[in-house]
Amino acid sequence: MGARKRFGQNFLTDQRVVQRIITAVSPSTDQHILEIGPGHGALTSHLTSFGCHLQVIEIDRDLAQALQAKNIDVIVGDVLKQDLAVITTGPTRVVGNLPYNISTPLLFRLFALDNIVDMHFMLQKEVVDRLTASPGNRDYGRLSVMAQYQCRPEKLFEVSPSAFTPSPKVISAVIRMIPRSDKPDVALPDLEKVVTTAFTQRRKTIRNALSSLLDENTLVSLNIDPGQRPDTLSLDEYVRCAKTIAEH
């Protein structure tokens, strides 16, 4: 099983892990499922057995051809270069054991779409821990706040390097993300501005970290302790800051 490093190819070979992912997804007939990076089809072959409408996106032409030969609907190319809105015109569930180098940009492209029902991804454990971290946790940062604004992330289980061939250097984890229908009412660029500004100076107090955007009295009026550190503010507190900078 040759693996192309540049495409982040670590193929899942542990069938117990494959089964746990399929059970977590539990596809049903008539659902549209989009699999990103199917590789040799470790997950794909199981997904097809549920009678769902399965479409896959694979960058490696040789792997794509092998899947096409099995009558799988393959889009050959880089997922980051596809117009995903055109591929997901109806309710779509997204699944993938992702190449880790593209996972963060891909997640934010998927968050921007309207029709995603849910997402199940194998990612680096470290990224899953950041996506799911709560305020005050050492993994809590910009990625946690921006992802939790977009979706409800849930860490399902960890996967050891020995489950893959070749084995990656890091521990992996499977995450479920359900897009929020109750997104806080704030303009995304304003939230991004506040959160990025705060976390570029995460060791300072929020009073100092946000001094270019909000003064101390405004923070107090928003019911935020100006002596807190950026990694202890909740999403809701960042939303309040973002709404205030939008008003000024």
- In the block, residue with structure tokens 């499922």: 33
- In the block, residue with structure tokens 């009412």: 185
Regarding 43 and contact with ligand SAM (CB under 6 A), the answer is yes
Regarding 231 and contact with ligand SAM (CB under 6 A), the answer is no
182 is in an annotated binding site: no
Regarding 50 and contact with ligand SAM (CB under 6 A), the answer is no
Regarding 57 and contact with ligand SAM (CB under 6 A), the answer is yes
Regarding 76 and contact with ligand SAM (CB under 6 A), the answer is no
Nearer to ligand SAM (CB atom), residue 18 or residue 246: 18
Selected from 25, 54, 59, 173, the binder of ligand SAM by CB under 6 A is: 59
119-to-36, 96, 208 alpha-carbon distances in Å: 11, 8, 37
CA 37 remoteness from chain centre: 15
CA 18 remoteness from chain centre: 19
168 neighbors 161 (Cβ within 8 angstroms): yes
CB of 118 to ligand SAM, least distance (A): 18
**Parallel, antiparallel or unpaired: strands 32-36 and 92-97:** parallel
101 is in an annotated binding site: no
Per CB under 6 A, residues contacting ligand SAM are 7-12, 36-40, 42-43, 57-60, 63, 78-80, 97, 99, 102
